[in-house]
């Protein structure tokens, strides 16, 4: 799109200031005053002529400006209505024509500014041909051309400035819409990220705490040591959840904090999660052979954490295997258990409506990877698998 130059911007700004000054006045009032002034100039030229002219010459001089109050709404008809008495007056009483025909200047300017394309070009041709053929001297022809064509050029300039102002306004509107859309999308993404964080933290911790709390009373007399371990696991899970919640809530409270600078768990912290799951009575084999960038490690940590949470909550598994290794240019994650292997209820993209599995898919997609979940081989157990690109 075209951009306005400094001169055009200045002219547009001055036009807007003048327009604002007369914003409360009806256009018909302003144009009627303009018509009265133009008629006064024409009548004054008749009065100052040495020839005593009859009344109808004064009437013709007045009629040249009579249509001006309707110039904004009917620019073409206004120019034509002004031109008819002006032409008659020029033929029958040429000597009373004013040096500067104000009605012609205003009409030409208005048509160049507001007229249709064919009207504007027809007017320009008529002005050039009429001034060349209708004047009696080269000086008069030059002056008439400068006055009429100059008015046309000025009207065309105002028309172009108004068009550029509309273009700029539309561009600003579109920029505003895009900014609002980007802001809304950023808010939605951030809300989704926080929801995933809160779900992963609370679901894992609460699941461990519930399992241990249910197991503790059953063994408190028969196996006090195991009961003590259960309560220790509850305390550890609660403390870990509090630490991670403070990470999230600390970023939410600090308006100046950048989300990407918030402390995030890495694969180095995964053994602690595995240990707590083992303390609940599930055998866990863990193999971590690769790590990767921090964002990939955070996503891998959360995926494994959620998969282990699902094992505790849904599978009745006795053992689970966690494998994290490099596979080409990606980090391959697999969490497989020997539980009852409940199938994933088909939904969007084959995923269930469970928030945990949806969160796994979203975390993998956020890293440019993919994830899958479903029954293990021969329908035994349940397998969560993901591939996260490691980048360059």
Question: DSSP letters along 170-232, please?
Answer: HHHHHHHHHHHHHHHHHHHHHHHHHHHHHHHHHHHHHHHHHHHHHHHHHHTTT-HHHHHHHHH
Q: Are strands 330-337 and 283-288 parallel, antiparallel or unpaired?
A: unpaired
Mean pLDDT, residues 60-84 taken together: 89
Mean pLDDT, residues 58-80 taken together: 89
Mean pLDDT, residues 304-328 taken together: 86
Answer with the residue of higher pLDDT: 344 or 58.
58
Answer with the residue of higher pLDDT: 95 or 306.
306
Concatenating the DSSP letter of every residue in 39-103 gives HHHHHHHHHTSSS---HHHHHHHHHTTTTGGGTTT-HHHHHHHHHHHHHHHHHH-GGGS-SS-HH
Answer with the residue of higher pLDDT: 248 or 384.
384
Q: Which domain holds residue 387?
A: 268-392
Nearest Cα to Cα of residue 117 among 76, 84, 79: 76
pLDDT at 211 over 70: no
Residues 387 and 278 in one domain: yes
Task: Select, from the ranges 57-71, 240-254, 368-382, the one with the highest average predicted confidence (pLDDT).
Answer: 57-71
CA distance 84 to 344: 86
Domain termination site, one of 125, 157, 178: 178
Is residue 255 situated within a structural domain? no
Mean pLDDT, residues 326-345 taken together: 80
Is residue 225 situated within a structural domain? no
The phi-psi region of residue 143 (left if phi > 0; otherwise alpha if psi is between -120 and 50; otherwise beta) is alpha
The model's confidence at residue 139, banded by pLDDT at 50, 70 and 90, is confident
pLDDT at 261 over 60: no
Token couple for 186: 């950023």
Is residue 322 situated within a structural domain? yes
Q: What is the pLDDT of residue 145?
A: 80
Residues 169 and 57 in one domain: yes
Residues in the chain: 392
CA distances in angstroms from 279 to 160, 284, 304, listed in the order given: 78, 10, 17
Is residue 56 situated within a structural domain? yes
Residues 304 and 156 in one domain: no
Residue 232: other Cβ atoms inside 10 A: 13
Q: What is the pLDDT of residue 18?
A: 61
pLDDT at 367 over 70: yes
Q: Are strands 283-288 and 319-327 parallel, antiparallel or unpaired?
A: parallel
pLDDT-wise least confident of 9-13, 163-167, 178-182: 9-13
Residues 297 and 172 in one domain: no
Query: pLDDT, tens digit, for every residue of 73-87?
Result: 899 899 899 888 888
Mean pLDDT, residues 21-36 taken together: 78
What does pLDDT average to over the chain?
79
Residues 155 and 18 in one domain: yes
CA distance 311 to 383: 10
Residues 168 and 281 in one domain: no
Residues 158 and 298 in one domain: no
The model's confidence at residue 353, banded by pLDDT at 50, 70 and 90, is very low
Nearest Cα to Cα of residue 260 among 217, 304, 298, 227: 298
CATH code of the domain covering residue 379:
3.30.565.10
Query: pLDDT, tens digit, for every residue of 85-128?
Result: 888 888 888 778 887 788 888 889 989 898 888 888 888 888 88
pLDDT at 163 over 70: yes
pLDDT-wise least confident of 5-19, 152-166, 177-191, 234-248: 5-19
Is residue 195 situated within a structural domain? no
Is residue 196 situated within a structural domain? no
Q: How far apart are the first and last CA of the chain?
A: 38
The model's confidence at residue 5, banded by pLDDT at 50, 70 and 90, is low
Residue 26's H or E segment, with its range, is none
Domain termination site, one of 178, 196, 221: 178
Q: What is the pLDDT of residue 324?
A: 92
- Class of residue 340 by CB neighbours under 10 A (exposed 0-12, middle 13-18, buried 19+): middle
Mean pLDDT, residues 383-389 taken together: 92
The model's confidence at residue 218, banded by pLDDT at 50, 70 and 90, is low
- Predicted model pTM: 0.49
Q: What percent of the chain has pLDDT over 70?
A: 79
Token couple for 46: 């008749």
CA distance 264 to 258: 13
Token couple for 100: 């500067």
Q: What is the pLDDT of residue 17?
A: 64
Is residue 226 situated within a structural domain? no
Domain termination site, one of 157, 178, 199: 178
Q: What is the pLDDT of residue 335?
A: 93
Residues 173 and 277 in one domain: no
pLDDT at 254 over 60: no
Mean pLDDT, residues 123-134 taken together: 80
Is residue 31 situated within a structural domain? yes
CA distance 138 to 3: 39
Mean pLDDT, residues 277-306 taken together: 86
Q: What is the pLDDT of residue 23?
A: 60
Angle at 104 between CA 89 and CA 160, to 5 degrees: 160
The model's confidence at residue 9, banded by pLDDT at 50, 70 and 90, is low
Residues 22 and 146 in one domain: yes
Residue 324's H or E segment, with its range, is strand 319-327
Angle at 334 between CA 373 and CA 318, to 5 degrees: 85
Domain count along the chain = 2
Residues 167 and 275 in one domain: no
């Amino acid at each position: 799109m075209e951009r306005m130059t400094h001169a055009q911007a200045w002219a547009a700004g001055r036009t807007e200031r003048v327009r604002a000054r007369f914003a409360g006045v009806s256009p018909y009032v302003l144009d009627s005053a303009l018509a009265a002034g133009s008629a006064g100039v024409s009548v004054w030229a008749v009065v100052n002529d040495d020839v005593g002219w009859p009344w109808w010459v004064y009437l013709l001089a007045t009629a040249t400006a009579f249509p001006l109050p309707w110039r904004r709404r009917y620019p073409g008809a206004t120019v034509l209505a002004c031109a008819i008495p002006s032409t008659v007056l020029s033929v029958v009483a040429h000597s009373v024509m004013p040096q500067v025909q104000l009605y012609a200047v205003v009409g030409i300017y208005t048509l160049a500014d507001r007229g249709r394309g064919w009207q504007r070009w027809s007017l320009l041709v008529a002005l050039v041909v009429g001034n060349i053929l209708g004047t009696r001297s080269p000086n008069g022809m030059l002056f008439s051309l400068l006055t009429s064509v100059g008015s046309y050029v000025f009207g065309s300039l105002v028309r172009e400035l108004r068009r550029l102002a509309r273009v700029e306004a539309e561009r600003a509107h579109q920029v505003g819409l895009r900014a609002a859309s980007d802001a809304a999308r950023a808010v939605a993404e951030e809300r989704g990220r926080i929801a995933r964080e809160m779900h992963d933290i609370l679901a894992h911790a609460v699941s461990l705490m519930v399992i241990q709390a249910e197991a503790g009373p059953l063994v408190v007399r028969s196996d006090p040591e195991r009961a003590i371990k259960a309560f220790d696991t509850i305390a550890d899970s609660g403390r870990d959840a509090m630490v991670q919640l403070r990470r999230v809530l600390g970023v939410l409270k600090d308006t100046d904090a950048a989300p990407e600078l918030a402390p995030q768990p890495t694969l180095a912290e995964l053994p602690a999660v595995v240990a707590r799951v083992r303390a609940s009575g599930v055998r866990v084999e863990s193999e971590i052979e690769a790590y990767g960038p921090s964002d990939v490690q955070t996503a891998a940590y959360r995926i494994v954490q959620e998969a282990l949470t699902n094992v505790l909550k849904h599978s009745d598994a006795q053992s689970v295997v966690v494998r994290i290794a490099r596979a080409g240019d990606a980090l391959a994650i697999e969490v497989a258990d020997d539980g009852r292997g409940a199938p994933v209820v088909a939904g969007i993209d084959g995923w269930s409506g469970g928030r945990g599995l949806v969160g796994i898919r979203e975390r993998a997609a956020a890293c440019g990877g993919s994830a899958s979940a479903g029954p293990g081989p021969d329908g035994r157990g349940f397998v969560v698998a993901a591939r996260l690109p490691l980048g360059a």
